Amino acid sequence: MTAKTSPDKAATPEENTGQIRVRTWQQFKQLVAEKKPGSIVYILEQNGFTADKEVTILRVIMLHQQRYYIFIDTPKGDALRETAIPLCKDKNGTRFLDDQEVKNYIKAQFEGEKLEVYSFWTT
């Protein structure tokens, strides 16, 4: 994880906000289990700004005490690198993520948690 505050000193209320990039899916799952948020949001991005010009990106966000924990998953082969969610292809061969498939996967990953899962576009 990366954060804007040093782990050696306590954060002031002003520093206790912002965002933290979570590097692995396993870390994100551990944070959800520890922080017990009421909900998480996912975003299916189609932007092409990654180093390999890949257009499909999954971003999963959890808000806890004025801090956003953000996990980003990018493709490797025909699936996402960390979550292994498979990519679909449209009739032109453009790869994309199926919204319902992503939602079902995330819900299954957090089945034991009391957690609502929302797509950014439906919140």
Q: What is the pLDDT of residues 93-111, one digit of tens each?
A: 888 899 999 999 999 999 9
| Tally of structural domains, the chain | 1
Q: What is the CATH number of the domain that holds 42?
A: 3.30.720.90
- Residue 12 belongs to some domain of the structure: no
- Residue 13 belongs to some domain of the structure: no
Name the token pair of 104: 């079902």
- Residue 10 belongs to some domain of the structure: no
Q: What pTM did the predictor assign?
A: 0.79
- Residue 123 belongs to some domain of the structure: no
User: DSSP characters for the chain?
Assistant: -B-SS-TTSPPPTTTS-EEEEE--HHHHHHHHHHH--SEEEEEEEE---STT---EEEEEEEEETTEEEEEEE-EETTEETTT-PBPEE-TT--EE--HHHHHHHHHHHTTTS--EEEEGGG-
- Residue 34 belongs to some domain of the structure: yes
Range of the domain at 63: 18-116
- Residue 97 belongs to some domain of the structure: yes
Q: What is the pLDDT of residues 50-62, one digit of tens each?
A: 555 567 899 999 9
- Residue 39 belongs to some domain of the structure: yes
- Residue 82 belongs to some domain of the structure: yes
Q: What is the pLDDT of residues 41-95, one digit of tens each?
A: 999 987 755 555 567 899 999 999 989 999 999 999 999 999 999 999 888 888 8
